[in-house]
Every structure is written in structure tokens, then in C-alpha cells.
Amino acid sequence: MAGGLGFKGFTAVVVLAASLLPGIGNAFQVLPRISDVDRKLTSVGTNQWVDGLGIWLVGNALPMIKNPLHEAITLNALGCSVQAGSEAECVTVAAIKQHQVLLYGVRWPDDPPFALNRSDPPRTSSCNPAVTLRSTAQPKCWATLFSDAAATAKINLKKDPASPAFGPGDYLLYRSHFGDLQFFHAMAAHDGELAAVAQRRMKSWAQFLWGIATKTLPTGKFVRDLEPAALGEYFPGDITATNLLATGIVEVRKDLSHVAMGALLHMVQDSFSQAHSGRGAETGAMCPGSPRFAQPGRIERFYSYAGQAGSAHDREDTFASLNVHTLQVSPTVVDASKGFLALWNEGASWDEAEKLFDCVFALQAPGAAAGPGPFVN
């Protein structure tokens, strides 16, 4: 047909679509939102056709395939009133616009923006080192690097299964999904890591985020020089909270407190996903240090994503799984999110928030070793 794509063009679109879909979104799936900045960057980039098509796919195709679970959980916790099992109804355009920056933070751990190495950029034409990398600005490049991270992680873990596949010096996308920063998602850094060790990583991250969220930590000083000191192990270079949470995302920098709170909620919510951690049954008890909050089931073990099959992992991160959870469990992931939001709105100190963290992330077996769990092909 004149003026149409034709068979070859259509085939190219299908192939590109398929290449963009796998692996987008670790944990409870997130629904990407395209900003005007993303579109403008695409129009001046070196991969205008590919990234333009990719942005269309992210904005139109992915919402039909991926589930905005983090958004639904967060909006429900913020006051959206729906019956248990109907959390998806909370995701509306109006609600997303109202809480846009907080939801950016909730999505951040799955798609953290970062700068590509300009002196040694990825060896693929789909990546433009002048543009901050995130799935909504360079979707083809993002998918290419994610696939490379998955393949490289398997190689690295075969060589040294007792260490994270990636660490400082590697791209944030590699580290957060397959390496030492898997605590962003309430997961262990590698198979064999003890639950107590993984929990300590998560607690350090939570303390840091709480400091940014409550504006008691500066956003312009290097992370390595801030409390908790343990976090400096993961960010030893010249990186600030602004660099970490908002590289290339100028529009959210004035509200980094909301971004940090969203990132904390993400970790809390992921800890209830059965593909991230195995939880026991709730007992009906209240939190020992914060009796105003009900205690969730204790965590029996954390899992590591690098050894899991993505398809098996993703089966736990659907609205069907969320609905089963909220219909049969109390307190739920929504209740835990409400608790942290309540303390944040009250301006609570970390000493108070720590009590809730200790309750939500309480361990059944501190010595339990991480592994892929049943989420393998």
C-alpha cells in the first residue's frame, strides 16, 4: 500500500517491539510514563526513528502488557478507596498527575536514570551517550543493555557465585537488577547471601532514603560522606543524592524528598512479592516497637534475581497475584505502605521509622541463604 510501512517495515516494527519487551520491569511491574522531555530528547538524538518508535511502544504497547502494580499499591495507600482485589481501579490519569513525582520515585528503582560512559560508550548504535539513559528516553538502548546485563551476570556468577555479578564502576541498571544493589528491590545481592546480611543492606538504604525524604540529609553532598556510612561502600565515588535520584531529570530535583519516599515504598512493596522474598503467614500480632501497626508475616528468605528466569519471576508480579494477596492477607502490602506514608507525613524521625522497618522486614531465619527459589525454568 502506498505510503504504508509495507511487509518489511511492519516486520521491522514487530522485531523491534519484541526486542524491547523482555525484562522491562523487575519486581512488581511499573507502567512507564513518557514526558515531554523524553520526546524532545528523541527529536535531537542520533537514533530518532528507533527511539521514536520505541517511545511509541513504551507509551502504547507496554501498558497493555505490563502491570502498573506499584502505582496501584501506592495510590491505594494514599487514600484511593476500592475494595480488596480491585486495586487496579486506583490507577487513573488524574491520580497519576496528582502524585507524579512520588510515583516517579516509586518507579525509580526499576528504571534509574544514569549517564552513559562518553569515553567508552556501549558498542551499539542504539545508544546515544549524550542522552541520560532510561527506558523512556532511549528504549532500544535500555533493552539492549538490560539483555547484556542478564547475559553477563550469568557468566560472572559462574566464575564467582559467592559475589555480586556487578558492583561499583558498573552501570546502575546492571547493579540494581543483577548486582550488588538488588536491595533496591528487597532481594539478595547473590545466591548464598544470608538473610541477615541482605536485611542490613536494605536497612542502610531505607535510612538514607528516609533522611532525604524528611530533608534531614543534604542532597548536594557525596553519599559516601553521609549516614549511614555503610552506604558509602556502594557509592564510593563523587555522587550525591541529586546525581543518584535525578541524573538528567531536572524537573524532579526540587522535590527529591518525594522521589526518595517513592523509592523506599518500592522496596517495601517488593518485599511482599513472592518472587523477591518468601514470607510466612501473619500471626495477628502488632509491631513490637510500633503497636499502632499490624505485623506482616516474617520473611523466611530473600531471593536473588540473577539466577531466576525472568518469565517465572514476572508471573508473581501481576494484578492476579496482588489480588490474591489483598483478598487473603492482613496486613497487606498496601497496609505496610500506608504505615510508612503516615510516619512520613507526620515528619517522624528515623528512630521511629526504623521500628516500622524492623517490623515489616523481620526475619524468621536470619541465617537462611538466598537463591533463585522456585522461579527457574
Where do the structural domains in the chain lie, given as residue ranges?
Answer: 30-119+131-157+164-360
**Phi and psi, residue 278, nearest 5°:** -90, 120
Q: What is the grid cell recorded at 250?
A: 531536572
Report how far residue 247's alpha carbon sits from residue 132's, in angstroms, rounded to the nearest whole number.
7
In the DSSP assignment, the letter for residue 294 is B
Ranges assigned E (strand) in the chain: 277-279, 299-302
Q: pTM for the whole thing? A: 0.85
Amino acid at 138: Q
- Which residues have C-beta within 8 Å of that of residue 250, sequence separation ≥ 6? 37
Q: What is the DSSP string of 314-373?
A: HTTSSHHHHHHHHHH-SS-HHHHHHHHHHHHHTT--HHHHHHHHHHHT-BS-TTPBPB-T
What whole-number distance in Å separates Cα of residue 204 and Cα of residue 227?
Answer: 9
- Residue 222 vs residue 93, higher pLDDT: 222
- Least confident range from 22-26, 32-36, 38-42, 263-267: namely 22-26
Residue-wise pLDDT tens digits, 209-257: 999 999 999 999 999 999 999 999 999 999 999 999 999 989 899 999 9
Strand-pair partners of 279: 299
Tell me how far apart the terminal alpha carbons of the chain are, to the nearest angstrom: 43
Provide DSSP, 14-61. Answer: HHHHHHHSTT--SSS-------HHHHHHHHHSS-HHHHHHHHHIIIII
Torsion of Cα atoms, 198 then 102 then 178 then 138, to 10°: -170
Phi, psi of 35, deg, nearest 5: -100, 165
Average the pLDDT over each of 33-37, 82-86, 199-203, 250-254 and give the range with the smallest value. Answer: 33-37
Encode pLDDT of 265-295 as tens digits: 999 999 999 999 999 999 999 999 999 999 9
pLDDT category of residue 66 using cuts at 50, 70 and 90: low
